[in-house]
Structure 1
Amino acid sequence: MGVAIRTAGEGDRELIVRLLDEAFQDDPVSGWVFPGADDRRAKHPRLMAAFTDIVLAVGRIDVTEDGSACALWLPVPADEGHDAEDEGPAQVREAVDPDNERVERVGRLTAAIHPTGRAHEYLWMIGVAPGRQGEGLGTALIETVLDRCDREGLPAYLEASNARSRDLYGRLGFEPAGPALDLPDGPSMWPMWREPRPHRPA
């Protein structure tokens, strides 16, 4: 049975923020950004809200019809290089947790390894409700966009934040795009790239 998917709008903001917060509370990178459990419960939703607002403004969020999973995508134009002066990470830190340098640092570190030179779709985050993981919802969300990438000849890029998701992305055609990003005194993130596949009309 297929998974019903739609594009989220402003009216879905709170649903998306809550879903991402639940899905990433125990993620290694979230645990590095907010090492204390109480601090993470209090401030992690603000970080997910900041990410959601960015993507609602300039990207696309796909969500399953039942609200159990979502994927945040950003279109990246050709030749968009890393700008060391980019204020985005600092603005996110100011909005989320001004005293937490790691909120800004993770944004700057991932921006520094982001591939440049070719237009592509960037899978920023994908979240599945904890009780629904393992049902193929994440795969369905990703494949919807990858099918479009194949039709349009667009590559796709992401950073896997744990070994389980890295394996899933590998099955979907993503390959390592350079060495792992080792967060200071923290977990690793794995940059992955997928070349478009020849499109076969149905």
Structure 2
Amino acid sequence: MSTHPALPSAGYGIRFARPHEAGSVAALLARAFADDPVMAWMIPGAADRERRIARYFRLAQRQQRPRAGGVRVAATGEGRLLAAALWSGPGRWEPSGVRELAALPHYARIFGLGGMQRAAGVQNAMHEAHPDAPHWYLPSVGTDPRLQGAGVGSALVRQQLADCDRLGQSAYLESSKVANIPFYEGLGFRVTGEIRIPEGGPTVWPMWRDPGPAAGPATG
């Protein structure tokens, strides 16, 4: 008997997320990040951690949508979401100070007073390590846990990476799990160092991808 996850029989496509799907995208990413070390560090021991993570990703989408690239999903024709990715175009990865200030009350409700300090430590450490060279930034990508290993997440990421190759643009992400590094390496990323979250937090691995040769038109 096969142990590989079963994809929907009708297949799926990759597209931009629609505004009314924000809640579904957040719920999907919350399931995908339920055991994420950084999320566990920022929201320690919370019985409602998955609900809080979903609220975080609802907020992250609002921060993301004004930027080029935005929120992309792999979805069936019937609208079932299988994977989601947040992308920012070159020069657009960092939200404005005004937007961040406006979001502070929402972050406080998500992380609580103690978690806010940890979340700020994570953000500061990642911002300090963020490369200056122009690039597309992938802060979050997640696949429905029932379909992890079926190739949906890699197909979703490859869609943007093909555009990066065509335009000669680099890409950057941080892996919060050492086990995920081979997955990203398979997409052309390479580890460039380590980001150590302060106060005993987890380690995060920054990864960079130079553009590869653009694929030519299909023949035959």
Residue 95 (structure 1) aligned with residue 106 (structure 2): yes
| Alignment RMSD (CA, Å) | 2.4
Describe the superposition over 1:30-89 as per-residue Cα deviations: whole angstroms up to 9, x where unpaired: 1011111315244222211111111122242111113010111001229x9x89x95666
Residue 201 (structure 1) aligned with residue 216 (structure 2): yes
4+ long deviations beyond 4 Å: 85-93
Unaligned runs of 5+ in 1: none
Name which of structure 1's ranges 137-146 and 92-101 shifts more when overlaid on structure 2.
92-101
Identity across the alignment (%): 32
CA-CA distance at 1:128 after TM superposition: 0.8
Residue in 2 aligned with 1:14?
A: 23
2:202 paired residue among 164, 168, 187: 187
SS at match of 1:189: strand
SS at match of 1:21: helix
TM-score (ref. length: structure 1)? 0.87
Q: Structure 1 residues 91, 31: closer, same or farther in 2, change over 3 A?
A: farther
SS at match of 1:172: coil
Q: Structure 1 residues 146, 170: closer, same or farther in 2, change over 3 A?
A: same
TM-score (ref. length: structure 2)? 0.81
Residue in 2 aligned with 1:64?
A: 74
Number of matched residues? 197
Aligned equivalents of 2:98, 2:129: Cα separation in 1: 17
Give the AA of the match of 1:96.
Y
CA-CA distance at 1:92 after TM superposition: 4.2
Residue in 2 aligned with 1:141?
A: 156
Give the AA of the match of 1:15.
S
CA-CA distance at 1:197 after TM superposition: 0.6
Residue in 2 aligned with 1:74?
A: 88
Give the AA of the match of 2:129.
I
TM alignment of 1:35-184, pairs within 5 A: 35-58=44-67, 59-66=69-76, 67-77=81-91, 86=97, 92-97=103-108, 99=113, 100-116=116-132, 118-177=133-192, 179-184=193-198
Unaligned runs of 5+ in 2: 1-6
Indicate if the aligned counterparts of 1:25 and 1:41 stay in contact, CA closer than 8 A.
Answer: yes
Indicate if the aligned counterparts of 1:160 and 1:191 stay in contact, CA closer than 8 A.
Answer: yes
